[in-house]
Amino acid sequence: MLVTGGAGFVGSHTCKALWRAGYLPITYDNLSRGHAHAVRWGPLVKGEVGDRAALVRAIEDFEIGAVIHFAGYAYVAESMARPDLYFRNNFIDPLSLLDAMAETGVRDIIFSSTCATYGIPLALPIREDHPQAPISPYGESKRMFEQAVRWYGEPRGLRWASLRYFNAAGADPDGELAENHEPETHLIPLAIRAALRRDRALTVFGTDYPTPDGTAVRDFVHVCDLADAHVRALGYLAGGGDSAAFNLGTGHGHSVREIIAAVERVTGRTVPVVDAERRPGDPPVLVADASRIRAACGWEPTRSSLDFIIETALTGLEVPAHAAHRHVEPAHLAPVPVEAMAPLIAAAPASPPILAASQAVALDAQGPVASGLARLE
């Protein structure tokens, strides 16, 4: 299983879910915004998503059967200031991934999309057939790649599921992974930091929205529920399900003020707040209708209660950064067929090696590379 962007927030949690489901996730990431220490359940191949040749090598060397594509930028405000970054990274470069899949005969792709493709909703909750009219380059770049996946699928037999997240939040309940963005822009970790550290107030962007308390309303989904949806979507496609877009949300919205109150309740501390003007690109309300994926995949957001999201996010702030992975020099590498992986995986500790994209033959049955693979249950 090739997981582009598997060193990021949702990507790393999904790799853990894949591992628990019996898959071996191969993370492909340039680490520009991901973290090597979060890749613990399979090898890490360091490469660019726009490098078709490197992607082909990784797909062939690991005999990849399907792709989950996370690698993308996700800051609305940044996209408003630097649309060039977003159209290149979220749309242009990933076309090489689709080309690599076509060249190697890989048919199935799960795409990490977003509710930002909808723009300002015309009706709530938002269904998948709601018009897509993004109001930010971030949302537009994701919408464009959704369309590229759909059009590639027609002549090339590509099967796809576009998972439109609402607001990813929380962290691994086992304490092995956390939300670790730089800069951090997500509401819940910022509110927790403001409550615990008091080094800066939480900025509330917009207090005059047409909502009950004047602040924006969002549908928060636990990251582990999102990870579970990716595993289920893989099974859905493998079982012959039709290509489709799926919303991932709870169907219940919480305002910024409600989030602040919940953080104060869970932490027992006050969140200092500074009110500010609205940010460009932020709709007033985004709440999902996720009935389609419930019916198609049996998915339920069982871990997405607000208190559990905040409790796990709070625990996640205490997750230490693990030691950086050891780089493996080319001299230590030797091709090993995929059928030889099982005994290596069974005996290995938790931290995988980092491999340059040109070194994606990854395993040496006698040497140090093998010791870096995570065990499959």
Give pLDDT tens digits for 298-351.
Answer: 999 999 999 999 999 998 776 555 433 333 322 222 333 333 334 333 333 344
What is the spatial distance between Cα 185 and Cα 67, in angstroms, rounded to a whole number?
Answer: 28
What Å distances lie between residue 268 and 203, 261, 281, 304, CA to CA? 20, 10, 33, 21
3-class secondary-structure state, position 66: strand
What is the spatial distance between Cα 109 and Cα 305, in angstroms, rounded to a whole number?
Answer: 29
Res. 353: pLDDT tops 90 = no
Catalytic residue among 86, 138, 152, 165: 138
Res. 59: pLDDT tops 80 = yes
Give the per-residue pLDDT at 262: 98
For every residue of 184-207, DSSP letters joined together read ---HHHHHHHHHHH-SSPEEEE-S
3-class secondary-structure state, position 368: coil
Give the per-residue pLDDT at 365: 25
Is 86 known to be catalytic? Answer: no
The CATH homologous superfamily to which domain 72-316 belongs is NAD(P)-binding Rossmann-like Domain (3.40.50.720)
Give the per-residue pLDDT at 361: 39
The total of other beta-carbon atoms located within 10 Å of residue 56's CB is: 18
Domain ranges of the chain: 72-316
Residue 197 burial by CB count (10 A; 0-12/13-18/19+): exposed, middle or buried? exposed
What is the spatial distance between Cα 45 and Cα 352, in angstroms, rounded to a whole number?
Answer: 10
3-class secondary-structure state, position 169: strand
- Strands 167-169 and 44-46, by their bridges, are unpaired
pLDDT tens for each residue of 247-264? 999 999 999 999 999 999
Confidence of residue 198 (pLDDT cuts 50, 70, 90): low
Quote the mean pLDDT of the chain: 86
Confidence of residue 370 (pLDDT cuts 50, 70, 90): very low
Residues 38-52: what's their mean pLDDT? 97
Question: To which H or E segment does residue 220 belong?
Answer: strand 220-222
- Quote the pTM value: 0.86
Helices assigned H by DSSP within 334-376: 341-346
pLDDT tens for each residue of 117-170? 999 999 999 999 999 999 999 999 999 999 999 999 989 999 999 999 999 999
Residue 187's closest CA among 206, 210, 172? Answer: 206
What is the spatial distance between Cα 349 and Cα 40, in angstroms, rounded to a whole number?
Answer: 9
Top-confidence residue, 281 or 330:
281
What Å distances lie between residue 248 and 65, 179, 203, CA to CA? 24, 18, 27
